[in-house]
């Protein structure tokens, strides 16, 4: 821990992040509405929700860029915003928007942040080299950011947030707008952080990202958490083991929904089909009426749509 920094009321088993009853309003809009969320140390928690759920507002409050109207936030034992300077010294932040200095090289961008995070002078060169290696950019260290690809810039953003070896990393939509190959590369990088025991809070609306990377998932809707658990636990609780997909014209899909819901089974639209959740519980009479459908394992996307009623990308 940074010398001279004393957390208020922290303990060894305290959560890395504690959000209690937090409210944030923008005029008549309540973006965060009584949010309660604890993030245990050493896990990756995926904050999942549709656009407008309050994820980015929550991230901004954790970094004291936005001040809550009510409630309490504690990060690594420090009250925020009152002790935000101390908490930021131990935290790495990867913003949604690329704010790298395009006129500087990858190495120079990292060097600036070793100064800002007060990495001891003798450790700065090694810290920059480690960050370049994490981002797989050692061969592009002296390339101007403006000449890096989108995927390289995104990796550099993450490396910049890690240059001081933080105990906690906030990732706000880390792979938004990237192609699938680059997204896979960044997933590997985030997975490395998790395996090294760094606490990661990752907001995302990519369902597969949360299902693959997160130890725990919190689903947000309308400014609060409406479900929390492991990906597999949430799937078992809200979607069951299997889904049955039915295809056909609109009137056929409406009929499937009506019959399934009459039998007490949840459904969700998936483009040109309807999925019946908990298909393993379908009685024989229902299978006779609807047919077997196309069976598949239930997934976190089923949970998301069942809970929020929102479509996903």
Residue 233 CA: distances (Å) to CA of 55, 113, 221, 240: 22, 39, 19, 10
- Report the percentage of the chain scoring pLDDT > 90: 75
The pLDDT value given to residue 20: 98
CATH number at residue 259: 3.30.70
pLDDT of residue 10: 53
Q: Are residues 217 and 79 in the same domain?
A: yes
Shared domain check, 80 and 7: yes
Q: Are residues 70 and 183 in the same domain?
A: yes
% of the chain at pLDDT higher than 70: 95
Question: Does the pLDDT of residue 98 top 60, yes or no?
Answer: yes
Q: What is the DSSP letter of 254?
A: H
Co-location of 156 and 38 in the same domain: no
233 shares its domain with 178: yes
pLDDT tens by residue, 53-86: 999 999 999 999 999 999 999 999 999 999 999 9
Q: Is residue 261 in a domain?
A: yes
Mean pLDDT value of segment 212-219: 94
- Mean of per-residue pLDDT scores for the chain: 91
Q: Is residue 11 part of a domain?
A: yes
Q: Are residues 15 and 47 in the same domain?
A: yes
- Asked if residue 312 belongs to a domain, the reply is no
Please state which of the ranges 89-93, 172-176, 216-220 shows the lowest mean pLDDT.
Answer: 172-176
Same domain, yes or no: 179 and 282: no
- Domain check: are 20 and 82 in the same one? yes
Same domain, residue pair 39 and 72: yes
157 with 277, same domain: the answer is no
- Residue 65's pLDDT is 94
> In terms of residue numbers, what domain contains 257?
240-297
- Residue 97's alpha-carbon distances to 174, 175, 308, in angstroms, are 9, 11, 26
- Give residue 7's pLDDT band: very low, low, confident or very high (50, 70, 90): low
Nearest to 278 by CA among 304, 260, 290: 260
């Amino acid at each position: 821990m940074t010398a001279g920094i004393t957390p208020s009321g922290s303990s060894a088993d305290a959560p890395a992040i504690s959000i209690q009853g937090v409210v944030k309003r923008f005029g008549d809009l309540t973006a965060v509405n009584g949010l309660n969320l604890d993030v245990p140390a050493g896990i990756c928690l995926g904050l999942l929700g549709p656009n407008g759920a309050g994820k980015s507002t929550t991230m901004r409050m954790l970094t004291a860029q936005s001040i809550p109207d009510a409630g309490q936030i504690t990060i690594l034992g420090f009250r925020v915003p009152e002790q935000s300077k101390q908490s930021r010294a131990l935290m790495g932040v990867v913003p949604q928007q690329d704010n790298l200095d395009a006129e500087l090289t990858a190495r120079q961008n990292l060097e600036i942040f070793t100064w800002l995070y007060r990495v001891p002078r003798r450790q700065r060169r090694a810290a920059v080299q480690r960050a370049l290696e994490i981002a797989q950019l050692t061969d592009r260290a002296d390339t101007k950011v403006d000449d890096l690809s989108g995927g390289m810039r995104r990796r550099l953003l993450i490396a910049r947030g890690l240059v001081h070896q933080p105990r906690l990393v906030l990732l706000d939509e880390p792979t938004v707008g990237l192609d699938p190959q680059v997204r896979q590369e960044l997933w590997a990088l985030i997975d490395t952080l998790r395996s090294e025991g760094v606490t990661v809070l990752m907001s995302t609306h990519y369902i597969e990202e949360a299902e693959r990377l997160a130890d725990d998932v919190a689903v947000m809707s309308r400014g609060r958490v409406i479900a929390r658990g492991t990906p597999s636990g949430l799937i078992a609780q809200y979607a069951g083991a299997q889904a049955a997909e039915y295809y056909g014209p609109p009137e056929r899909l409406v009929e499937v929904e009506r019959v399934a819901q009459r039998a007490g089974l949840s459904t969700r639209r998936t483009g040109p089909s309807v999925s019946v959740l908990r298909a393993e519980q379908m009685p024989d009479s229902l299978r006779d009426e609807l047919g077997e459908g196309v069976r598949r394992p239930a997934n976190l996307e089923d949970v998301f749509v069942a809970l929020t009623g929102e479509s996903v990308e």
